[in-house]
Structure formats: structure tokens, C-alpha cells
Structure 1
Amino acid sequence: MSLVNTDAPPELLVVQDFSLRFRGAPSDQINHVSFSVSAGKTLCIVGESGCGKSVTSLAMMGLLPVGAAQINSGQMLFEGQTLNLADPKAMRKIRGSRMTMIFQEPMSSLNPVFRIGDQIVEAVKAHCDATDAQARDRAVAMLQRVGIPAPEKRMRDYPHQLSGGMRQRVMIAMALVNDPALLIADEPTTALDVTIQAQILELIRDLQAETGMGTIMITHDLGVVAEIADTVAVMYAGTVVETGPAERIFNDPQHPYTIGLMSSIPQLTGARGRLSTVPGMVPTAQNMPTGCRFATRCPFARPVCATEPPLVEAGDGHQVACHFAPLEIKLKESA
């Protein structure tokens, strides 16, 4: 009898042992990172600012400056094919059509001297065989889907005429207008109020159900993660320290950093008190510690943490990069 799960959705993007270093840096900014996302599923990448989330996403899109970043190990596979990150022409064929990205800052991503309608129409015509009228109709329809009121009128507006939240919705419309196979969203709901945020998350889920689109959501909002994620990858200082199904990450976090993140979530019930914090700062490439990169901030650090811990299986696809995982057993034994 075959043990292969034929009902499992195909993997859209697989990142394998990926390491990247910027020119002149003494250590890798992205260090042996591995994760995957399947069709119709959502992977959330979480962590503090400076943990490498956005750099990883820009690398996936082939948007890092040529010559500034050196790939030291690993590869990225998209729809079964190796992404040639060193070939801008090959990446342009994929970027914007099969793989798209919502950027964190919409004002710097939209061209200030072109109307928003023209920018969305350009995105359609760059990747689809459509007439001007067809591209315009598609742009209006997508603006309406992301909650832009009076979309035909707004097509004539310039970016500076829109609020921050509306500019973000325009960026989302531009990313989704070509029905991509994979959407990478870097803090896509940061500038939105909770009502519009809920609408956008619902829109992404609807598109996943309709088209089988996979999504990589980069966020620090654990409320969004709990609502939309199928799997979670926790990044710290350029490395994945814990990954697995969202339910297991929330209910049984095993890495001290993940535990610190979860403990910082405000509670609606129970005794009031100060929020828990993770002391210290994320190290930079210039002062990266050897071994476990979290050791300088970890309350459980021991001499063995001077060696880099591998990702080990904690059950049901749950992996942790900690010498003491599972924490409930090994910390008790070492006490």
C-alpha cells in the first residue's frame, strides 16, 4: 500500500537550504533557510523587524540588486522549476504574472506621476494578450473587489490623492489582477483599519478557493497569522527557528523565541499586568553570534548553544532549531 498522500496539494514554491550574503558583510543575512508553500495554502513568515523576512521575499522575486547579494547555498523551486535569480530576463517573465508581490510601503511602490488606473492597466497588458478596453475593465473590476469605492472614478486619480489605506488596496489590486499562482504579501494590511483588513483577508481566501493560489504572508501581526495561516515559519536573525502547522505553533511553541513572541500577545481575560517582552535586540550582520543566533537573548542558553542547532522534527511537520527541543523534556533533564 502506498504511503504517499495523493490528496495533498502540489507544492508551488520550495526554498531549500538558502543562504545569502550582501557584499562586504561578515556573515550571511539569510542563513540556511528552508520552507515551502502549497497551492491554495497560506504560509505566514513571522518575526521582529530585522529578522530577514522582507529580504527573503525580495530574493524570491529576484528584486535584490544584481551584484550586491551573493547566494552562498541552496535553491528556490517554483512550480517544479529552479528559479534563476541571477537572470533578470527570466525572472521578469514570472514576476507580475505567475508570482506577484504586495510591498510594504505603497507610496514608494506606486509611480506618483501616473494615474492608478494606468498603472494597473499596464500590469495587465504586460502579461496578458488584452486590448486597452479589456485591460481597463479588468482593472475596474479588481479595484471594486478590493473595496475601492467608485472604482471607475478612482481610475483617474493619482496616488497622492488617495489615503494610505486606499493606496495599499490599489497595490493589492495590482498584484492580484493577473490571477497569480503565488502571492507574496509583505505586511499587506498594515495601513488598513480592521474592517478593510478583514475584507482583504477574505478576498485572498476567496481567490485561493477559486484559483488555487498559494500565499506567503509576511507579518508581525499574530492575530492575522491565527486567522489566515495554514503553516507558520518563525524567523530570527536570518534563519528559520521554528516551522509547522499554525495550530501546533500557537498551541505548543517549542523555540524560546517563538514562546517569547506568543507571550507578548495581550490577553483579554485574566489578571492585568505588564506585557511580556523579549529582552535585547536582533543582532546585525556585523555582530552576529556564533552558533544559535538567539543565544544572546535566550533565558535557557547553555554552552552547547555556541554550536548551531539543526531543525529537528517535533512531530506532525513541526520542526524546531533548538538544542533543548522538546523543551518540556530536555530542560527538565538538564536542570
Structure 2
Amino acid sequence: MVLTLVQSAPSPSAAPLLDVRALSLGFGTSKTRLLDGVRYSVEAGETLCIVGESGCGKSVSSLAIMGLLPQGAAHIHEADIRFRGERYDLNDMAALRRHRGADIAMIFQEPMTSLNPAFKVGDQIAEAVTAHNDVSEAQARDRAVEMLRRVRIPAPEARMNEYPHQLSGGMRQRVMIAMALANDPALLIADEPTTALDVTIQSQILDLIRDLQAETGMGTIMITHDLGVVAEIADNVAVMYAGTIVEAGPADAIFNDPQHPYTIGLMSSMPRLTGPRERLTTVPGTVPTVETMPAGCRFSTRCPFAQPVCAETPPQREFGRGHRALCHFAPLDDRLERSA
């Protein structure tokens, strides 16, 4: 019997798959917005990489999209989001549950803490199928075997009956991918999917995600701080700092012509494989906490170009091809020429 999965009808192709026009939120009683005006979009078949230091808000923004932030603790100040051209309401928990796992799926950073140790991996994948489709248990298990085979796990019928602790780290991550893609979602969010894996397995996991993306045409948001991964797989890049997207655009523009001081600092910190060995460049200072968040530009306390005007909210500067930076002095080439 053929298993037919329930999928939403696609919206007009002109609309991005996911369009985050503005996302701001905070936690607890603090009035400071942990995420402030986050903005990005991803098209079907496209890979968007969100990069930045640990604690900058990359994972929080994605958990908010998935509706997985703790209710009562997280407070949404602003959320103007569209999915397939339709309004995506972060306060509608019932709608978020319908989307989560069916239209939008997520691979988490550490599969050992994301998989339930008390259940066999096949049962966990089958549960993801039955949660969104009117199918029998046997059909769901057939789909689980199919997905394990699809993510290139050998002997999938046998692996179905194993527990997470019986699998290697790479195998567990493949199980997470199988579970995420079991309902053929339109969008996959991968949160540091290669962390804690050795280099060979990292490459295999990235190749697998790219191959599955090519097969299904899904959009992918990759959350990472590994610029090597970004250079390898990204179509577009969004650079996040202290809860804001400070620069975004095509990958080649971000790597070859960065226009925000923080992006330049990130790129300069990458070790070179060729040429003379030099001390790596560092970004001075530390990321501000919620209590010490500066007014205006959040990077102003660490920026070599900071001026009194940086105490005001910087404008969004556009450079064409969707390349934009949140800085008073962009394009920086002009400022460097004036100061030379």
C-alpha cells in the first residue's frame, strides 16, 4: 500500500517560502529585547546560513519559529512572519503544532539529548509520521524504514529496533534527519547539525542534507558558527550579533565584500591554509549581556569605527543583490578611503 503524506498546497512562487520581516522577543521581566528586529527570508531549494558567536540568538530565533520557546518565559514583542505567503502566527499554538514536523522540521544540535532513550529509533520516526498523517502503524513503520534507508543507514530493518545509545553519533544524527524529513517538509532548520562529530562524519552529514535538499526542493536554514561550512553550502548568509541581523546577502558578497565591522572581524579571524603564518585577528571586548546592551548599534562597544552617532539605531544600508548591512558608516569602503 502506498503511503500518501498530507502536504499543504504551495503558495504563489513569488512569495518566499519563509519570510521573517520582523521578529523581536525578550525573556522574563527584562524590558530589553533579546532578539530585536530580526529579518531574513529563505526560498524553496535555497540554503540560508545564520552565523554568529555563541549566545547571539541564532538558536532562539529558530526555536521561536518552531513554537518551542517556553510559554510564559518568552514574550513576543513583534512577529511579522509569512510562510508560503500566508501569515504565520507565533501566538497560535494549535497552528504551530500543525506546521511543526509537517511543513517545517528541525534537526537539533545534540541528537543524544533530542532522541528519547527509552524508545527504539524506528518507533520515534513512525510517531512523527502518525502525528501528521491518517495512516496505520504498519504504514508508519514502513515509512520509517524507507527514511532510514534514504539517509543511508545500512540494514534499516534491523536498526529500526535499536535504541539511541546503540548507535554512533553519526548514526544518531542520521536518525534525526530521517525523523525531520519523514513528512517531506518544505523547510528544514538544522541547528549546528555537525557539532561534536568528527570531520569525516561532518562532511557525510552535510553531503546527505544537500543531496536530500536536491531531491525534495526543500528550503534549508543552517545555523552554525563554522565559516568553513558556510562557504561550502550557503546560497545566502545572515550574520547575527547580539540578537540582530547585522548583515545579510549572497554568500559570495558576504565573504568577498563584507560591509559590517562585525562581519569583517569574523572573516579576519579565519585561519589561512596558505601564505605566511600570522597571528589571527580578534574582535576586542565581549558580547554584551541583556543588562549591558548598548543603545543604538549593539556592536558599538566593540567597533573600531564607533562614533557618538552609533548611540542611535543604525539604518539598513542596501548594496544590491539583496546585500544589506545595519551600520551608520556602510559602505565601509567609502569610510576607509576618507580616513586614509
What TM-score do the two structures reach when normalised by structure 1?
Answer: 0.93
For residue 291 of structure 2, what is the aligned residue in structure 1? 286
Q: Is 2:328 the partner of 1:330?
A: no
Cα pair 2:15 2:85 within 8 Å, conserved? no
CA contact (8 A) 1:324 1:331 kept: no
Runs of 4+ residues over 4 Å off in structure 1: 7-10
Separation in 2 of the partners of 1:319 and 1:333? 21
- Counterpart position of 1:144: 149
**Structure 2: runs of 5+ lacking an equivalent:** 1-11
The CA distance in 2 between the partners of 1:255 and 1:180, in whole Å, is 34
For residues 91 and 316 of structure 1, the distance between their equivalents in structure 2, rounded to whole angstroms, comes to 32
Name the SS of the counterpart of 2:188 in structure 1: strand
Q: Which residue of 2 aligns with 1:135?
A: 140
Q: Give me the whole-angstrom Cα distance separating, in 2, the residues matched to 1:269 and 1:334.
A: 30
Structure 1: 5+ residue runs without aligned partners?
Answer: 1-6
Amino acid at match of 2:302: R
Structure 1 SS opposite 2:17: strand
Q: How does 1:1-335 map to 2 (within 5 A)?
A: 10-333=15-338
Structure 2-normalised TM-score? 0.92
Q: Deviations over 1:46-95 (max 9, x none)?
A: 00001000000000001111121122123111111212211221111110
Residues 127-186 of structure 1 show CA distances to partners (whole Å, capped at 9, x for unaligned) of: 123332322222122222323232222211111222223222211111011110000110
In 2: Cα distance, 1:95 partner to 1:74 partner? 17
Q: Equivalents in 1 of 2:334, 2:29: separation in Å?
A: 42
8 A contact 1:311–1:322 mirrored in 2: yes
Aligned partners of 1:98, 1:21: CA distance in 2, in Å?
26
CA contact (8 A) 2:49 2:237 kept: yes
Asked if the contact 1:9/1:40 (under 8 Å) is kept, the reply is: no
Post-superposition offset of 1:193: 2.9
Write out per-residue CA displacement over residues 240-282 of structure 1, whole angstroms, 9 at most, x where no aligned residue: 0000001100110111110111111111101112222212221
How far apart are residue 43 of structure 1 and its match? 0.7
- Specify the SS of the correspondent of 1:287: coil
SS state at 1:270 partner: coil
Sequence identity, in percent? Answer: 70
Q: Which SS does the other structure have where 2:33 is aligned? A: coil
- Once residues 207 and 148 of structure 1 are traced to their aligned partners in structure 2, the CA distance between those partners, rounded to angstroms, is 14
Indicate the SS of the match to 2:271: coil
Task: Please tell me whether the aligned partners of residues 26 and 285 of structure 1 are also in contact (alpha carbons under 8 angstroms).
Answer: no
Q: Contact 1:147 / 1:196 at 8 angstroms: preserved in 2?
A: no
Cα distance between partner residues in 1 of 2:37 and 2:96: 22
State the partner residue of 1:4: none
AA aligned opposite 1:45: I
User: 2:7 aligns to what?
Assistant: none
Letter of the structure 2 residue corresponding to residue 146 of structure 1: V
> Deviation per CA, 1:256-312, whole angstroms, max 9, x where unpaired?
110111111111101112222212221111110111111111112111111111221
Supply the distance in 2 between the matched residues of 1:138 and 1:292 (Cα, whole angstroms): 49
How well do the aligned residues superpose, as a CA RMSD in angstroms? 1.7
